Amino acid sequence: MAVILSEEQLMLRESAQTFLADQSPVTRMRELRDAFDDKGYTPEIWKQMADLGWLGILLSEDHGGSGMGVADLGVVLWEAGKALAPEPLLSTLLLGANAVRLSSNEAVQKDVLPAVAEGERVVALALEETGRFNPYNVETKVEGGAISGTKLHVLDAHVADQIVVVARASGAAGDRDGLALYLVDANADGVKITRNRRMDGRNAATVEFDGVEVGAERLLGDADLLDQVIDQATVGLASEMLGTAEEAFERTLQYLKDREQFGQKIGTFQALRHRAAMMFAELEFARSIVRDALSAVDEGREDASLCVSAAKAQASKAGRLIGAEAIQMFGGIGMTDEEEIGLFFKRLKAAELTLGDETYHQRRFAALQGY
Amino acid sequence: MADLETFKEEVRAVIAEHLPPELRVGNRSDLPKEPLGKWINVMADRGWITPEWPTEYGGGGLDRKHAAALKAELKKVKAPVVSSFGVSMLGPTLLEYGTEEQKKEFLPKISNHTMRWCQGFSEPGSGSDLASLQCRAEKDGDEYVITGQKIWTTSADRADWIFCLVRTDFDAPKHEGISFILFPMHQDEVEVAPLTLIDGSAHFSQVFFNGARAKAEHVVGPLNGGWTVAKRLLQHERSTDGSSDGGIGGAAKESISDFVKRTVGMENGQLADATIRERLAAHEIDKRGLSLTMRRAAEEARAGQKGRDIGSLGKFRWANMVKNEQDIAVDSSGSQGLGWEGPGFDDKQLERTRKWLITRADSIWGGTNEIQMNVIAKRVLGIPE
């Protein structure tokens, strides 16, 4: 169990930093947002990420990957979070394609995974049907070989080649039993994708399935698979949030050192100094808990789900505090669209509410602790 | 030095022969005196109270690995931890700053637990701003005459000697006129008045010096250089605080989650009060954050990974964490959490209530939370003042 980065991870981080600093300034994300670009990310950069080996980190060598762990991918996501990179890393690597990877459907794996590693396929996961995260609250039905229902907040669905759909084969909304995960082509008959425009500029869509035909050969698994996918994606997202929160914190800290009012740097005011110390503490706690959870997931530790919930709860808490304090400390300029700090604030909020917020994960943590 | 396995066997043999069952219950204030005294002598004879100090000063002469093995073996059988201000704070300071004569005079008596010490730092007018202290030491031949008052002195009524911060230069800037001096408590010119705290406990005293005497040769470190010595000593204090797991009670006691399960009850496998449940989960996540961060600080240091000093977070976040735990305990009890003593309240509730009161102090002593955050802002985050 590791709470610090290994030598290999330090190297991976450095190469990610170099690449993103060079190719992905925050202005890139802003330009894509302002243009409401069709894709919302940069395909050339996605391809370069494939060349760097990032897209195959979790995949076995047979599938064109390097067989590394979620903790290693976490390092990349952390850096991507700092740069606010809009590429479909989370949606493909930890949601859609990860459901394929963690399934036992070898034929689908052979078709999908090498293409993912090459950067030639984006795969989304269609799960949620309500605003507040509640993974078993699924009404979308699979009946007589056809899927019908509506999925919300499907990350990167508008650019997905394929979509993993969580459907219900039996039971009622809220039941864990009776769920089935199928792989569907995004251009299949009966699939309708409507892109959302969200405040954070992150790419998501509403996906309607109207009698979309699927065969048993496209079945990936049940709720056990779903739980595993969600745990890995949640800790990956927590890692990405660390990056976003860390960058927002560093920028705010610099602002405290630079900005003058009443003839002195605002960082000299004790009210702000103490709050900076508190932001630092919450961020470092998040970092420790996330690192621990990443290794818990990779090691298959018995308490892995508990660690993941602790990680997302703390990352959400830290992200919320740092986002709010960043805007407050930047003051009026922080309210303008021009100042980049606002982009971090919005991204942190979006990540906080994705895959369960602090309260959701506190409750899950409590349930897993037996109270 | 014996190899590690042989040494562990030696420790186990000593434990088997000399540690009676009534002492194998962890640290408690009500341990039987006579067996405890005998056990302390057994430890002292081997230098095991101060295992890493050199043998010439009464220490065990052990390296870090052997000392850790000793500690682990003792912990396994819940042996009482023999510690004191002398062992944890003054001793390491003397090893660093003391003269050879001072080391020879004092360290062996600390190692064998025969000389008990108290700390004279805080004064009524100098709490967080410790360097503003006013207690005076004036030279008189080869002695100093000490006049003034100290407060928050732990176990002053039982101490043989005091290590004390006194002002020796009255014109210098406040940090530069302070000396660190040692003198005996058993003098007519030293008066001890116990202080009762809000939880009813009385471990602290006020101490009055009305012309007490100290030998000039008992100044530790340079004359007027006491501030540096004290800061170093306080680091020993903080490292003791921060490294604690903050687990109020320890293994034998009831965990906070078990306590809360009793006070609010369970319904359908969940705590019956949803708000208390979320507060408890938040507390346990915070506690994880603290202990994992302290572990990360140690591992990053060992691996030579440089970054901000995250160990600096330990003291104030530990204080918040232990206070929050008792808040949850008392709030979950409602009016049953208001007991002071006697019938109507169970022992565990009474204990939690007293803890709720005394843990208020954790964010005050050893550097208040506000001081801790000032230090972090300045030294760790580098925000200019």
Chain B residues whose CB is inside 8 A of the A371 CB are 257, 260-261, 266, 270-271, 277, 280
Intra-chain end-to-end CA distance of chain B, in Å: 50
Q: How far apart are CA A58 and CA A71, in angstroms?
A: 10
What is the number of residues in chain B? Answer: 385
Q: Which helix (H) or strand (E) holds A124?
A: strand A123-126
- Which ipTM score applies to this complex? 0.96
CA–CA distance, B135 with B162 (Å, rounded to integer) = 14
Residues of A within 8 A of B277 (CB-CB) are 363, 366, 371
Please list every residue in chain B whose beta carbon sits closer than 8 Å to the beta carbon of residue A274: 370, 373-374, 377
How many angstroms away from the CA of B257 is the closest CA of chain A? 8
The share of chain A scoring above pLDDT 90, in percent, equals 98
Q: Which of A276, A292, A366 sits opposite B280 (nearest CB)?
A: A366
Band the pLDDT of A304: cuts 50, 70, 90.
very high
Contacts of A273 in chain B (CB under 8 A): 373-374, 377-378, 383
Mean pLDDT in chain B? 92
* Cross-chain Cβ contact A287/B296 below 8 Å: yes
CA triplet B35, B36, B41: central angle to 5 degrees? 100
Round to whole Å and give the CA distance between A129 and A230: 15
How does residue A29 score in pLDDT terms, banded at 50, 70 and 90? very high
Which of B290, B315, B320, B381 is most worth mutating to test chain A (most A CB atoms within 10 A of its CB)?
Answer: B381
Min distance A172 CA to chain B CA atoms (Å): 20
Which residues, at least 6 apart from A153, have a Cβ–Cβ distance to it below 8 Å? A128, A196, A204, A206, A354
A273, two tokens: 């100094």
Distance from CA of B349 to the nearest CA of A (A): 20
| Residue of A251, A269, A284 to mutate, interface with B, max B Cβ within 10 Å | A284
Contact B300 A4 (CB under 8 A): yes
Indicate if the pLDDT at residue B247 is higher than 60. Answer: no
A180 pLDDT above the threshold of 60: yes
Mean of all residue pLDDT scores within chain A: 97
Task: State residue A201's pLDDT score.
Answer: 80
Reported confidence tier of residue B238, pLDDT bands at 50, 70, 90: low
* Residues A280, B376: C-beta atoms closer than 8 Å: yes
Q: What is the pLDDT of residues A244-272, one digit of tens each?
A: 999 999 999 999 999 999 999 999 999 99
A306 min Cα distance to partner chain B (Å):
10
Contact A284 B293 (CB under 8 A): yes
Q: Decide if A152 contacts A208 (C-beta within 8 A).
A: no
Q: Catalytic residue, from B9, B56, B96, B237: name it.
A: B237
| Region A149-157 average pLDDT | 98
Q: Give B90's pLDDT tier (boundaries 50, 70, 90).
A: very high
DSSP E strand stretches across chain B: 117-120, 136-140, 143-154, 161-167, 178-184, 190-195, 204-215, 219-220, 266-267, 270-271
Chain A positions in Cβ-Cβ contact with residue B282 (cut-off 8 Å): 313, 362
**Distance in angstroms (rounded) separating the CA atoms of residues B347 and B334:** 16
Mean pLDDT of A188-203: 93
Q: Say yes or no: B286 contacts chain A, CB-CB below 8 A.
A: yes
- Tell me what pLDDT residue B244 has: 36
- From the list B271, B285, B378, the residue facing A365 with the nearest CB is B285
The percent of residues in chain A predicted with pLDDT above 70, rounded, is: 100
Tokens of A61: 């060598």
Cβ partners under 8 Å of residue B185, min gap 6: B118, B156, B159, B160, B161, B162, B192
B250 band by pLDDT with thresholds 50, 70 and 90: very low
Question: CA-to-CA distance for A79 and A52, rounded, in angstroms?
Answer: 14
Residues of B in contact with A365 (CB under 8 A): 281, 284-285
pLDDT, one tens digit per residue, over B129-174 is 899 999 999 999 999 999 999 999 988 999 999 999 999 999 999 9
Q: Which amino acid, residue A49?
A: M
Is B300 marked active-site? no
- For residue B264, which residues of chain A lie inside 8 Å, CB to CB? none
Of B180, B193, B106, B189, the C-alpha closest to B146 is B189
Instruction: Report pLDDT for B260.
Output: 97
pLDDT at residue A278 greater than cutoff 90: yes
In angstroms, the separation between the Cα of residue B256 and the nearest Cα of chain A is 11
Using a CB-CB cut-off of 8 Å, the residues of chain B touching A366 are 270-271, 277-278, 280-281
The predicted structure's pLDDT at residue B239:
57
Query: Is any Cβ of chain A less than 8 angstroms from the Cβ of B280?
Result: yes
User: B234: pLDDT confidence band, cut at 50, 70 and 90?
Assistant: confident
Reply yes or no on whether the pLDDT at B252 is more than 50. no
Residue B384 to chain A, least CA–CA distance (Å)? 7
CA–CA separation, B114 and A20 (whole Å): 63
Show the tokens assigned to B160.
Answer: 């043989």
Closest CB to B289 among A265, A273, A288: A288
User: Which residue in B310, B372, B383 is closest to A284 by CB distance?
Assistant: B310
B276 touches chain A (CB under 8 A): no
Q: Do A285 and B299 touch (CB under 8 A)?
A: no
Share of chain B above pLDDT 70, in %: 96
Mean pLDDT of B103-107: 97
pLDDT of residue A67: 97
Question: Is it the case that residue B340 has pLDDT exceeding 90?
Answer: yes
Q: Which of A256, A273, A292 sits opposite B292 (nearest CB)?
A: A292
Please give the residue of chain A at the shortest CA–CA distance from B313: A281
Q: What is the pLDDT of residue A314?
A: 98
Those of residues 294-333 in A touching chain B at CB distance below 8 A are 310, 313-314
Enter the tokens of residue A158. Answer: 């508008």
Task: Please check whether residue B45 touches A, CB under 8 A.
Answer: no
Q: How confident is the model at residue B240 (pLDDT cuts 50, 70, 90)?
A: low
Nearest to A253 among B292, B300, B381 (CB): B381
**Alpha carbon of B177: minimum distance to chain A alpha carbons (Å):** 28
Distance, in Å, from the CA atom of B226 to the CA atom of B213, rounded to the nearest integer, reads: 18
Structure tokens at A286: 């998040």
Report yes or no: B319 at the A interface, CB cutoff 8 Å: no
| A371 closest CB neighbour out of B280, B290, B380 | B280
Residue B128: the pLDDT is 84
Residues 349-378 of B with CB under 8 A from A: 370, 372-374, 376-378
